[in-house]
Amino acid sequence: MTSPRTVRQDELDQPRPIYAVWEITLRCDHACAHCGSRAGPAAREDELDTAELLEVADGLVRLGTREVTLIGGEAYLRNDFILVIRAIREAGMRASITTGGLHLTRKRAEAMVEAGVELVSVSIDGDASAHDRLRGTPGGFQRALEALGHVRRAGGRIAANTQINRLSHGTLLPLGERLAAEGIVAWQLFLTVPHGNAGDALDLVLQPHQLPAVYDELQGVLDLCDRHLIRFWPGNSLGYFGPLEHRLRAVLPEGHYPGCQAGRAAMGIESNGAIKSCPTLGGPANTGGHWREHDLEAIWTRAPQMRYVERRTLDDLWGYCRECYYAAACMAGCTAMGEAVLGRPGNNPYCHHRALELQRVGQRERIELLEPASGEPFGLARFRLIREWSDPERRAREPPIVVESSRLPSSRPQRGTLEP
């Protein structure tokens, strides 16, 4: 879950990984149809051992990291995950965990809280039917709620995170009431990104033209969060200057989307020591380096992949986003979403403002699968983006207005190439 701590603009003047999302294992006890990292029963072959994990924690605090969220896979499936929490806390950083909660027992919850974890966010994706189908586990919804209860009774603060897709859309308001009754303090929502497993399952992914209905539902979610004093935390894939933008990002000093923070205030770490500017970006083109080959500071300061977002200019935008009124502020939204949908960042059809502007002139957009995603974590499928008329009769008579296919990624240095 994205940190509930607000990052001040002055903290971005000298980029540093204030917030790190750290996958300590790819091993998982769920089988999620929408999992970007394709986590499952097996860990990565070359995952860091306990001593290496503790060294990474020490390196993070030297870089100025203030909060670390442990993820997986499923972090608690490592026998040493409590040691990692303690190391984070003893170094003076905040520790949180994002979990599916399937086997988050009372004993594990008590150990996590005792070790110093400040927030546990449980992934709950819609009502029981949607959640259990998405996560491939009958009874998983109830187990997730029980996990929240275990942490709360152990004295920990609890939160939830929810992916919005075709199954969970329409279930968010009753889910929110249930989560409020459990005592959550924060709720993060974000759109399912069509990469990894979700790149193979387009039937789960919302189409861009469905976004106005999604934001109608989110308006009710915002009202619910206000009533129950729950902090609404928008994922990077939500928003972009629609009429709800100021409410979606009320937690930010800007009051609107500030652009992707990958490599500016955030860092992703994979369980084998691969370092990325964002935990949901995948592949060699997005890997700045490997902790076993270079120390964290060298990768953070000298790997071009870590500086990509910071150095991006308007000339890197294309398609609809290049001509948008909000281009300079938004910079095409979520880098991971743009790359997943169209092969490279810079043009993002999953935008509330864009969907409404097209709707106003009787148009809509949809994506069409050309080639399934690779089998790697966060593997990219190939899509075609089609802009067409909203009216079905006109759509049947006339050809698409615009068709854009996936573009090859812009040229980037390979992993391990550090600048002087």
Q: Where are the alpha helices (DSSP H) in 120-267?
A: 128-135, 140-153, 172-182, 211-228, 245-248
Distance, CA of 257 to CA of 236 (rounded, Å):
8
Q: What is the mean pLDDT of residues 293-298?
A: 92
- pLDDT score, position 420: 59
Average pLDDT of the chain, as a whole number: 92
Higher pLDDT, 374 or 59: 59
Residue partners of 10: CB distance under 8 A and separation at least 6: none
- pLDDT score, position 152: 98
Q: In this structure, what DSSP letter does residue 196 have?
A: G
Backbone angles phi, psi at 323, to 5 degrees: -100, 0
Backbone angles phi, psi at 273, to 5 degrees: 95, 5
Residue partners of 33: CB distance under 8 A and separation at least 6: 133, 134, 135, 136, 197, 198, 201, 204
Express each pLDDT in 305-336 by its tens digit.
Answer: 888 888 889 999 999 999 999 999 999 999 99
Higher pLDDT, 408 or 175: 175
The token pair that represents 144 in the structure block: 């997730």
Q: Is the pLDDT of residue 413 over 60?
A: no
Closest of 5, 1, 2, 47 to residue 251, by C-alpha: 5
Q: Is the pLDDT of residue 416 over 60?
A: no
Checking phi first, is residue 363 left (phi over 0); if not, alpha (psi -120 to 50) or beta?
Answer: beta
Half-sphere CA count of 120, side-chain side, radius 13 A: 36
In the chain, what percentage of residues exceed pLDDT 90? Answer: 82
Whether the Cβ atoms of residue 112 and residue 105 lie closer than 8 Å to each other: no
Whether the Cβ atoms of residue 321 and residue 349 lie closer than 8 Å to each other: no
CATH number of 9-309: 3.20.20.70
Q: Lowest-pLDDT range, 19-28, 105-114, 332-341, 373-382?
A: 373-382
Given pLDDT bands bounded at 50, 70 and 90, which one contains residue 341? very high
In the chain, what percentage of residues exceed pLDDT 70? Answer: 94
Express each pLDDT in 196-217 by its tens digit.
Answer: 999 998 999 999 999 999 999 9
- pLDDT score, position 4: 44
The count of other CB atoms within 10 Å of the CB of residue 87 is 24
Express each pLDDT in 362-404 by its tens digit.
Answer: 999 999 999 988 889 999 999 999 999 999 999 999 999 999 9
Express each pLDDT in 220-250 by its tens digit.
Answer: 999 999 999 999 999 999 999 999 999 999 9
Closest of 193, 381, 409 to residue 287, by C-alpha: 409
Higher pLDDT, 264 or 388: 388
Q: Is the pLDDT of residue 13 over 60?
A: no
Given pLDDT bands bounded at 50, 70 and 90, which one contains residue 344? confident
Q: Is the pLDDT of residue 167 over 90?
A: yes
Torsion 54-56-59-60 (CA) sign: negative
What are the domain boundaries of the chain? Answer: 9-309, 312-405
Q: What is the mean pLDDT of residues 166-188?
A: 98
Classified as helix, coil or strand, 97 is strand
Express each pLDDT in 72-83 by its tens digit.
Answer: 999 999 999 999
Tracing tokens 């075709």 back to the chain, one arrives at 166
